[in-house]
Structure 1
Amino acid sequence: MALAFLDRDRSVAPAGYSRWLVPPAALAIHLSIGQVYSFSVFKNPLLALHAADGSAWNLKEVGYIFSIAIAFLGISAALFGAWLERAGPRRAMFYAAICFSAGFIIASFGASTHQLALIYLGYGVVGGVGLGLGYISPVSTLIKWFPDRPGLATGLAIMGFGGGAMIGGPLANNLMAHFKASGQPSIPYTMITMGILYFIFMMFGVFTIRVPPTGWKPEGWVPSVKHSALISSHNVAVTEAWKTPQFRLLWVVLFVNVTAGIGILEQAAPMIQDLFKGQISPAAAVGFVGILSIFNMAGRFLWASVSDFIGRKGTYFTFFVLGAILYFFLPFSRQDKIDSVPLFVAIAALVISMYGGGFATIPAYLKDLFGGFNVSAIHGRLLTAWSAAGIIGPLIVNGILDHYVENHMNKEDAYPLILHIMSCLLVVGFLANLMVRPVAEKYWVKDKTLVYADGPAH
């Protein structure tokens, strides 16, 4: 079979293989698909495009591109999570690379012919499937390589996704400037180029990913016999996990954390230019997106690592208490008596670090509660919360902004309302996290022969 090299058996690590060679493979995938966080760089150029009849797209229509991509990220992760555990990470990464790159190519035709439906199909649907497959593919693999530090493992796996905008934003901006200066269609040519470059980069992850052999554990590591009440020594199958109150509570936790973060990320570049008119150039706005990307990436690693010491519940407690306060006070940084761009950037960066940390901590939270048996499949189903947030968050942001514009009100005055709504959402997340308890025994896997900690789910 031509694609036999993608089989799980072909990716089992040889004896003596260093587990520290696995994180770069995960980073290659996540740094690529994390480009979606820099989509705001495309928003103004897309709004400036006009059809042959002179018509143009509005902010809400363009915002749906990002929403569809995030929606299909969660949908595909939920649908293919169980398949991934059987097929292995290499095959999932390969299909992710094909879909993500093809999404750019299809979207480029939509931009060149001014057909928004093609951009929805390409960047949104096809690219979104690539996002979902690529997002969950390294997670369970790294958890198996780092059973002694599951928070660190998920931080390593997901860190690159937060940093994708650090590469994707400047890359898109520079490519658009280059093609525009050359007299070429800037957005279509940029999307084609990025599709090809990302495919090549993701292939590095495909060919270098390895899974540990059956029975492997870190040298000298002995599982602790002392556990927190929230760290289960039992496993729960995905078919039972989604029925538990814990799954529903964590769904709410992830949903509100993501919705609030998207309130900044999805509108990052235009927002800072609107709030600080005349002070922030388009290039500086791209720099702001890059700063948020750095903190999004760093937060995923740092907060997930911290969760190994203070627990997942304690980490989310910090996110929701501190985050709600910061979201509430963020718009005041632009008032006349303060009017501080550095203060605005600093608060936004800290908020986004916790947004990223929430993504990196949630797989370890799931492993604590449900065990490692079906962690990829359970994680995939939980990511439907991200899908919902990817739709609701931009709808809140773009809906309020469009309302202010259509009623000839100052656009910048809409942001305090938006950010205060996000602050209230985090209070809801605080309450949901507070109610998380250990999973009841009736949901545990009773037949221990079904559980293969180092192999695929059956």
Structure 2
Amino acid sequence: MNRLGNLIVWHYSSTHYERSEKQLEREKWLIPGLVRFNRYFLMPAAVLIQVCCGSLYAWSGYNLPIEREIYGPNLAKGVAVDRGQASNVFFVAVAVFGVTAALLGPWLERNGPFKGAVLGTCLFYMGNLLTALGVHVGSLPLVFFGYGFVGGAGLGISYIAPVSPLQKWFPDFRGLAAGLAVCGFGAGSIFSPFTQKALIGETFANTGIKNLGVSLTFVILGSCYFACMLLASFVLRMPPPGYSVNGVDIHTVKGAEELDNARAASAALPVSNAIEDKVEEAKMDRDHTVVNLHSVAPAKNVFSMTLAQALSSIEYILMYIMFLCNEITGLLIISKIQSIVQNQLGKNATEAANINSILGGCNLLGRLVLPTLSDYLGQRKPLFMLSLACQTIFLAVLPKAIGDKTYGLTLSCAFIIAFFYGGGFGLIPAFLSDQFGSKNVGATHGVILTAWAMAGVAGGLVFNAVYKSEVARLAPDLLHAYDLNFHWILAFTSFGLLVSFFIPTNLRDRRLPKLEGERIRFRFVNGRLVRVFKGFKVRMYSRAEEDAEWDGYLKGIAAQEETIKV
């Protein structure tokens, strides 16, 4: 048991990636002897991989055809009714996706994105083939195993494979790099509904008239995804040792840039002399962090964190909760949108596929717009707070809109929720890099995806159970079949908004030691530090008081360094 525990500790402590001189030389070329590698080649490769992975979001188009293929027709007034069986495959795939990303995130950092992408590509292809076989022989458990477990595992490692290198190659555009790394996932749900419907047969769920059928659709699309993903995998690679942009490297956390650069500039001076020197006070950054160096410049990357420190920090735990609450609404709506459009709003399968694609476009747009905007603002947290606030408002409106069959309002709510759902996925890799350094982003991103997985498996199963209960209670009028589900999800988005307020993003808030009796700290919009002590005693600090405490903390770090050197 101790051996297993030690193995787990080692697995989540080590992210060191070793490469030979021969490999480093080879990675300078995209095509050996013809085309030199450029970091911008990573962007289209990442998008291509994610487009293929994003076909997961079009799973709702498979629900009715798979159920008809395995169980036969289930019609009400000539329209196929969702049994709520095949849709659970989506939630299992999401769960396995997240768990795989969490388990293999550290492995990816130690072995490089190419191996991760190839492994994920092969697993996803195998999952599609097993799903085709399951549908062909009429075995839903085989469909669950094929797409849910094997395919979900492939998607999990394939998803994070391009995210990690992009964060490391683009420390100057972390938001844009994150957005491009994951935007393809939203794009996958734009075209996939149309290809699925065309290959299966446009009216198959209602009439039984097929084109190529469900099984061959999985074989054909799975083969296309395999070829595209494998080709893009050869572009992925980590930057060489010592790579940095404007003094920011894979270890740098947001707010420490000036401190690290000041130390690098004075590296030639003895530590004792550096302590005596006065270093010019750095400018206030966009998080209202005054990096007041005064008489000390800590060692290069002194604020960097190990993976174990990152995963156990209070800010990571709060970010995990925030991410779960931000993603649960969009995830569950995406999984059911085609069924809602047909069963509650009375539209045909073609209209439902169109709406699924538009929803995917909103998802994609959110993944690009919000992280790019966060680069301009220099902050990620305010955009997460905006996302949760908007989702809370429109989720509250959605039951009334569906109940009144207000088609335009229903779609507007769904599209806005999908936009912010995608935005959360685009923001989170850059937010994690800011907080814990891009060195750890493959692993921290992988682990935080278990929040999405939890929303998928636990939230999805509860969602389906409540839906079935409501269908049995309300039949034949199903207009309000989703109301109860939307109400309990609303509690999650509201709680997430509250939690996001307390996530510390300011370097001082994260690193200043806690005072005796201190319970929690936060900042007002004016940048003033506030501490809450035992007994709910609240104190707001002046800038001068905070500067003095921060200066003393930095001097303590320098003194420790001098002691170690002596």
Normalised to the residue count of structure 2, the TM-score between the two structures is 0.71
| Counterpart AA for 2:457 | I
Distance 1:146 1:20 in 2: 9
1:370 and 1:439 in contact (8 A); partners too: no
Question: Out of 500, 504, 509, which is 1:433 matched to?
Answer: 500
Question: How far 1:11 sits from its partner (Å)?
Answer: 6.6
Distance 1:317 1:286 in 2: 31
Q: Does 1:411 align with 2:486?
A: no
Distance 1:426 1:184 in 2: 42
| Counterpart AA for 1:119 | V
Question: How far 1:185 sits from its partner (Å)?
Answer: 6.3
C-alpha distance after superposition, 1:317-349 (max 9, x if no partner): 10111110011112333454xx43233222211
Distance 1:23 1:83 in 2: 22
Look up the SS of the partner of 2:239 in the other structure.
coil
- Return closer, same or farther for 1:229/1:371 CA change in 2, 3 Å cut-off: farther
Equivalent residue, structure 2, for 1:121: 145
| Counterpart AA for 1:241 | A
Distance 2:52 2:171 in 1: 26
| The 10-residue stretch of structure 1 (419-428 or 153-162) with the greater mean CA deviation from structure 2 | 419-428
Instruction: Map 1:149-298 to 2 at 5 A.
Output: 149-177=173-201, 186-218=213-245, 221=246, 225=258, 227=285, 228=287, 234-277=303-346, 280-298=347-365
C-alpha distance after superposition, 1:266-325 (max 9, x if no partner): 101001222212xx1110000000001011011001011112233111011101111100
Question: Out of 339, 355, 358, which is 2:421 matched to?
Answer: 355
Equivalent residue, structure 2, for 1:78: 102
Question: How far 1:155 sits from its partner (Å)?
Answer: 0.5
Instruction: Work out the number of aligned pairs and report it.
Output: 432
C-alpha distance after superposition, 1:24-75 (max 9, x if no partner): 11011100011110000000112213459x9x99734322211111111111
- Return closer, same or farther for 1:414/1:21 CA change in 2, 3 Å cut-off: same
Distance 2:306 2:380 in 1: 21
C-alpha distance after superposition, 1:396-455 (max 9, x if no partner): 32112211222343322122322232222111111111111244478xxxx9xxxxxxxx
- Return closer, same or farther for 1:90/1:8 CA change in 2, 3 Å cut-off: farther
Structure 1 portions without partners, runs of 5+ = 448-458
Question: How far 1:140 sits from its partner (Å)?
Answer: 1.7
Q: Does 1:312 align with 2:380?
A: yes
| Counterpart AA for 1:200 | A
Question: How far 1:222 sits from its partner (Å)?
Answer: 5.3
1:333 and 1:344 in contact (8 A); partners too: yes
Look up the SS of the partner of 1:48 in the other structure.
helix
- Return closer, same or farther for 1:334/1:312 CA change in 2, 3 Å cut-off: same
Question: How far 1:177 sits from its partner (Å)?
Answer: 1.3
Asked which structure has the greater CA Rg, the reply is 2
2:199 and 2:211 in contact (8 A); partners too: no
For CA contacts below 8 A with separation 6 or more, give which structure has more relative contact order: 1
| Counterpart AA for 2:115 | R
Question: How far 1:82 sits from its partner (Å)?
Answer: 0.8
Look up the SS of the partner of 2:232 in the other structure.
helix
Question: How far 1:16 sits from its partner (Å)?
Answer: 6.5
Distance 2:84 2:339 in 1: 14
1:13 and 1:212 in contact (8 A); partners too: no
Look up the SS of the partner of 1:91 in the other structure.
helix
Look up the SS of the partner of 1:411 in the other structure.
coil
1:11 and 1:209 in contact (8 A); partners too: no
| Counterpart AA for 1:288 | I
1:300 and 1:357 in contact (8 A); partners too: yes
- Return closer, same or farther for 1:408/1:275 CA change in 2, 3 Å cut-off: closer
Distance 2:197 2:362 in 1: 20
Equivalent residue, structure 2, for 1:451: none
Question: Out of 317, 323, 329, which is 2:397 matched to?
Answer: 329
Equivalent residue, structure 1, for 2:67: 47
1:236 and 1:373 in contact (8 A); partners too: no
Question: How far 1:184 sits from its partner (Å)?
Answer: 6.9
1:11 and 1:211 in contact (8 A); partners too: no
1:301 and 1:360 in contact (8 A); partners too: yes
Distance 1:8 1:32 in 2: 28
Normalised to the residue count of structure 1, the TM-score between the two structures is 0.87
Question: Out of 170, 180, 189, which is 1:146 matched to?
Answer: 170
Structure number having the greater strand percentage: 2
| Counterpart AA for 1:386 | W
Report the RMSD for the aligned CA atoms in angstroms. Answer: 3.0
Question: How far 1:216 sits from its partner (Å)?
Answer: 3.4
| The 10-residue stretch of structure 1 (429-438 or 411-420) with the greater mean CA deviation from structure 2 | 411-420
Question: Out of 361, 368, 373, which is 1:301 matched to?
Answer: 368
Equivalent residue, structure 1, for 2:51: 31
Question: How far 1:78 sits from its partner (Å)?
Answer: 0.8
1:30 and 1:158 in contact (8 A); partners too: yes
Look up the SS of the partner of 1:208 in the other structure.
coil
Look up the SS of the partner of 2:138 in the other structure.
coil
- Return closer, same or farther for 1:199/1:439 CA change in 2, 3 Å cut-off: same
Distance 1:209 1:373 in 2: 16
Structure 2 portions without partners, runs of 5+ = 1-18, 30-34, 75-79, 249-256, 259-283, 292-300, 514-556, 558-566
Question: Out of 35, 39, 44, which is 1:19 matched to?
Answer: 39
| Counterpart AA for 2:231 | F
C-alpha distance after superposition, 1:124-178 (max 9, x if no partner): 1110111111111111211122111111111110111111111221111111018
C-alpha distance after superposition, 1:330-378 (max 9, x if no partner): 2333454xx4323322221111010011011111111111122211111
| Counterpart AA for 1:26 | A
Distance 1:361 1:435 in 2: 18
| Counterpart AA for 1:22 | L
